[in-house]
Amino acid sequence: MPSDIHETLFLRLNDITTQMMTALSGEIDDGAVASMMAVHQEIMNQLAGAGDCHDPSLLPLLQKIKSGVDTVVQELELKKEHYIEKIQVSKNKRKLATAYGPR
């Protein structure tokens, strides 16, 4: 039954989203996040291939997943801004070292 396929994929998507939220709340390495994002993308591709689902009983699960994905996106944005700031500080330190360093 198509809704069973969708439910299974939605549950997998919920699991990986929860794992990503847990990982992003602590110190993680970039490889782990990239790996989780690849799994997330694979599940999304499988959902796209499964076609539309019009089962209203899956709506609460979809709402939970959407909330989790929104949280993950916000966390990733914060991490991105943090990395951009670190890179800028590093560049500024290099410029200062070049300008005022030993000659």
Please state at what angle helix 2-25 crosses helix 30-50, rounded to 10 degrees: 160
Nearest to 44 by CA among 10, 67, 69: 10
Has residue 7 got a pLDDT over 90?
Answer: yes
Q: How far apart are CA 32 and CA 66, in angstroms?
A: 21
* Residue 18 DSSP label: H
Has residue 103 got a pLDDT over 80?
Answer: no
> What integer is the mean pLDDT of 28-37?
83
Has residue 100 got a pLDDT over 90?
Answer: no
Q: How far apart are CA 54 and CA 98, in angstroms?
A: 62
pTM for this model (two decimals) = 0.75
